[in-house]
Amino acid sequence: MTSLDMASTNTVSRVAHDLSLATWFGGSLMGAVGLNGATAKAKSPSERVRLSSLGWARWTPVQIAAAGIHTVGGLGLIGGNRKRLANDGATQANTVVKTLVTVVAMGVTGYSGWLGKQVAERVSEGAEGATEPSAGASDKLAKAQKQLQMLQWAIPALTGVLVVLGAQQGEQQRGLKGLLDL
């Protein structure tokens, strides 16, 4: 494989990795701020839950695809940078942490989706907001919404950490020569 072939392979992997992470991060943050915030303003308590559930259901396939593409792109970058990984302890440490955070973010994303289904099944109970139960909510609905209230912020926080770790890896790749070029 020539250096040009390797560069284009890494470029495809990096684009898949970075664009899908941007999608995962941005969509989750928009959902927490925009979708959940807007649906809390609906007049009918059941409409609040219904609209939020519909929005998240539409987003879920995109989010799942983004997490999957991010993983495939990450594996491509690991493969393309295997020599660097074998010889650079800082890059190894970053990759291990990034892998662990990715697994946790995927788990939180999946669990949030499951909780969202629990909420959607109880749309008739209504709510104060997408993640705020009403006073008369069943224990099951209230528990799911309270968990979602925390997790809606955990996903953008975790994926934000992944953005930072990716930036750190980019800086590590520059090496000493790149640092002297500042």
Q: What is the pLDDT of residues 148-175, one digit of tens each?
A: 999 999 999 999 999 999 999 888 776 6
Please state, in angstroms and rounded to a whole number, the distance separating the CA atoms of residues 109 and 174: 32
Domain count, the chain: 1
Residue 178, domain member (yes or no): no
Any idea which residue has 């495809």 for tokens?
12
Please state, in angstroms and rounded to a whole number, the distance separating the CA atoms of residues 142 and 131: 9
Residue 181, domain member (yes or no): no
Any idea which residue has 């999608």 for tokens?
23
Which residues span the domain enclosing 38? 3-170
Residue 103, domain member (yes or no): yes
Q: Is the pLDDT of residue 121 over 80?
A: yes
**pLDDT at residue number 166:** 92
Going by C-beta distance under 8 Å and a sequence separation of 6 or more, which residues neighbour residue 140? 118, 122
Selected residue with higher pLDDT from 48 and 176: 48
Residue 32, domain member (yes or no): yes
